[in-house]
Structure 1
Amino acid sequence: MTVDAAREFTRFYTNRIGVLRGGLHGSRHPLPEARVLYELGHADGPTEVAALRATLDMDAGQLSRLLARLDDDGLVVREKAERDARRLVLRLTAQGRRAFAKLDRGSATEWAQLLDPLSEGERARLVGAMGAVREILGDDRAGATEVVLRDPEPGDLGWIVARHGAVYAAEFGWGLGFEALCARVVADYAEAAASSTPGHRAWIATAGGAPAGCVLSVRGDEPGDAKLRLLLVEPWARGLGVGGTLIDAVVADARANGDRRVVLWTNSPLTAARRLYDRRGFRLIAEEPHADWGIPMTGQVLALDL
């Protein structure tokens, strides 16, 4: 299933950005030539052939033939390195720099056209998902995706309910009853926050600028209890540290408020979240089987003494 999905995405994406067209971004250069021009155009100085081959992960024979074509077209010059005559270095000619500039402008224009119909939120989500793909698949140049917490903005509370409903229905089969519960929790939080009731906070986590998760902190049933509610991490953002960052925010806020403990209610299928809680010292204080959303499971109450 995962392999099929990855293959389908690859077909969609390569078609969407025009990889199979004869010339990339309106130029006469197919993708392999365009990549060489791009790398040389962004280099600070001459580039060793060996380094370019490693960057492109290209067969030596294929790269040699490609460079020969670009040399014949007057776009690239191959010459011996100053410090080691055994090594070849590459640089763009003036004509090659003009070809690179056309490609660069074409790429920017095509991406602008792709992004133009998208809302600001959709663009942020797209960029965040791209960063997650690069990081998960081991792109060393991508750098770690920064997880940032912010207060909810207009529309975010509806997003919390919608994403809980969609994600948990897809992954666990929890239906409308669960989404209704989330809506009530969010509504209660919104009313308390609107009246500035102490001890009510919410955080939206972003990764690469895209909404990647959320959590609420409300008053617990017992005096001195902060209750963690509606922790969610978007599937594409898992493994980036989003869940732990959100839990830590609730705990830090409870400590700042002078609370005696943080409590939460979770369910037995949520094993990944349970591991996050366990690592932070939460302990099981009660559990009870239920089938509130049509699926038998065990509800679990956890607590962290502060």
Structure 2
Amino acid sequence: MTVTEVLRRFNRTYTQRIGVLEESFLGTGRPLAVSRLLFEIGSAGAVGVRELRELLDLDSGHLSRMLRRLEDDGLVATTVDGADRRRRLVSLTTAGQQAYDDLERRSDERASSLMAPLTPRQQERLADALATADLLVRAATVRLRQVGDDDPVAREATRRYVAELDDRFPAGFDPGPLAPEPDATWVVATSDGRPVAHGGLRPVPGRDDTAEIKRMWVDAGWRGAGLGTRMLRHLESLAREQGYRRVVLDTNGTLTGAIEMYERAGYARIDRYNDNPYAEAFFEKELSSAS
């Protein structure tokens, strides 16, 4: 079977086995979509309506209808955020917490019953296979979008990028305040409303035909799924669209995985082209219409 056929077959099998087709998911009296919304609210404690919309990739109308049902059932309450009155927060009521706990119990019981006929070795194989499938499906459906460097998701990605380099570099990493770059293009990849990859593109002073790729970062839990390569190709495509003929980048020698990715992508080592004190390896790639 092809990959598409395998995925469709798995979807049919899995949705039937976990009760997605039932009007009352796991016997809760609520369909799966509403139960999922209850789960996300309960997991977060208190969460903004906008964050819920991005997390579940729902339009405003659909989300509002599901929230209204949970409110009518007395399970959630919506309030105005005291720190930002434009933001609405959703949290569980006491009854909602009880419903959340019941949903968790039922979900655990269903998962346990599905796994029970398998041997420990089979359960381990299934867990490994599902973890790999989950990562690859998420990577295939991740959203890449251009953002300003003041976008909250972009700021979070940059904060995590700086923190990781500070942890990995032998002497730490302290770039100081990162000033706005109005000529730069920033791209963030999000999954479930959270940043999982980030990168930027900016002009190189004095080289009108060359752009520099900056702040390439992929969440550690997503490495091995090809997301770094996808982000790199996306930035190269943006560079071509903006009229650049080549791209350059720098990195630290500690980041061996990144260096291997650049070399696989056709980047060639060049001499130092900037005064970045943390950079130890420098690369360049000519951009053609087919690259």
Query: Equivalent of 1:300, from 278, 281, 289?
Result: 281
| Residue 240 of structure 2 corresponds to residue 258 of structure 1 | no
Match of 2:262 among 270, 273, 277: 277
Match of 1:17 in 2: none
Structure 2 equivalent of residue 218 of structure 1: 202
Aligned residue in 1 for 2:231 = 246
The structural deviation recorded for 1:115 is 3.1
Does structure 1 conserve the Cα–Cα contact (< 8 Å) formed by 2:202 and 2:214?
Answer: yes
Residue 254 of structure 1 deviates from its aligned partner by: 1.7
> Hey, what's the Cα distance between the residues in 2 that align with 1:174 and 1:142?
34
- State the Cα deviation string for residues 214-260 of structure 1 (Å, max 9, x = none): 11100113231111111111112212222112111221122222222
* Distance in structure 1 (CA, Å) of the matches to 2:134 and 2:50: 27
Q: TM-score scaled by structure 1? A: 0.51
Higher Cα Rg: structure 1 or 2?
A: 1
Q: How many Å separate the matches in 1 of 2:256 and 2:214?
A: 16
The answer as to whether partners of 2:186 and 2:201 remain within 8 angstroms in 1 is yes
- CA shift at 1:275, angstroms? 1.7
Compute the displacement of 1:172 (Å). 3.0
TM-score by length of 2: 0.54
Change (3 A) 1:169 1:43: same
Of 168, 172, 175 in structure 2, the residue corresponding to residue 171 of structure 1 is 168
Structure 1 stretches of at least 4 aligned residues deviating more than 4 Å after TM superposition: 40-44, 97-100, 103-111, 119-127, 133-136, 139-142, 290-293
Q: How does 1:1-306 map to 2 (within 5 A)?
A: 39=17, 41-42=19-20, 100-102=26-28, 109=38, 112-119=41-48, 137-139=131-133, 143-145=137-139, 146-152=141-147, 154-173=151-170, 175=172, 177=174, 179-180=175-176, 183-184=177-178, 187-189=179-181, 193=182, 197=183, 200-221=184-205, 222-286=207-271, 292=277, 299-306=280-287
Structure 2, unpaired ranges of 5+: 1-15, 57-126
Please provide the CA RMSD for this pair. 4.0
| Secondary structure at 2:221 match in 1 | helix
Q: Which amino acid aligns with 1:115?
A: A
Alpha-carbon separation, structure 2, partners of 1:301 and 1:142: 30
Q: CA deviation at 1:147?
A: 2.3
Partner of 1:226, secondary structure, is: strand
Count of residue pairs brought into register by the alignment = 195
AA matched with 2:145: R
* Distance in 2 between residues matched to 1:172 and 1:251, nearest whole Å: 27
Matched to 1:231, the amino acid is M
- How far 1:148 sits from its partner (Å)? 1.7
The runs of 5 or more residues in structure 1 that have no matched partner are 1-37, 45-96, 128-132
Return closer, same or farther for 1:148/1:112 CA change in 2, 3 Å cut-off: closer
Residues 165, 99 of structure 1: alpha-carbon distance in 2 compared, 3 angstrom cutoff: closer
Q: Distance in 1 between matches of 2:135 and 2:30?
A: 20
> CA separation in 2, counterparts of 1:234 and 1:140?
15
